[in-house]
Amino acid sequence: MTALRPCIEARCPRLTSKTRCQEHQRSRDYTRNRPYQNPKWIRLRAEVVKAGRCHWCGATDKRLLADHVIPISQGGEPYDPANVVAACYSCNRRRVDE
Ligand SMILES: [Zn+2]
Ligand SMILES: [Zn+2]
C-alpha cells in the first residue's frame, strides 16, 4: 500500500500517493499542453510584441510573434519574461525548423 502525502500545491488539503492531487495534476498538465491559452502568456506576448523589433534579425517592419529563447519542449520557462522575445515570422519559423 502506498502512503498518502499532502498535495504539494499551497493550501491544498488533499492527500495523494503522487506529488499532487488529481485535480492539481490535471491543471498542471493542461498548462503544459496548452501554454498559449494561458492569460499569463497572452499578456507577456502583447508586451514583447509591443517593443516592435525582432530580437534575432532586428527587423522593425515585420509582423512580430513572441518566441521562446529556450523552447518549452527543451525545458524553457513558458512565462518567464527573460525567456520570451519578439521574433518576426521568418526568424520564428527558422528557429522552429532547426
Ligand atoms: Zn492539490
Ligand atoms: Zn527576424
pLDDT digits (tens, 9 = 90+) for 15-43: 999 999 999 998 888 777 777 788 889 99
* 48-86 pLDDT per residue, tens: 999 899 999 999 999 999 999 998 888 888 889 999 999
Domain ranges of the chain: 14-97
Q: What is the pTM of this model?
A: 0.62
Phi, psi of 20 (to 5 degrees): -125, 155
**59 φ, ψ to 5°?**
-65, 140
| pLDDT at site 1 | 67
Residue 97 has pLDDT above 70, yes or no: no
CATH number of 14-97: 1.10.30
Question: Closest-lying ligand to the alpha carbon of 28?
Answer: 1
CA of 35 to the centre of ligand 2 (A): 23
Q: Grid cell 528557429 — which residue?
A: 95
Ligand 2 centroid vs 89 CA: distance in angstroms? Answer: 7
**CA 58 to ligand 1 center in whole angstroms:** 44
**Rounded (5°) CA angle 20-3-11:** 35
Q: What is the DSSP letter of 24?
A: H
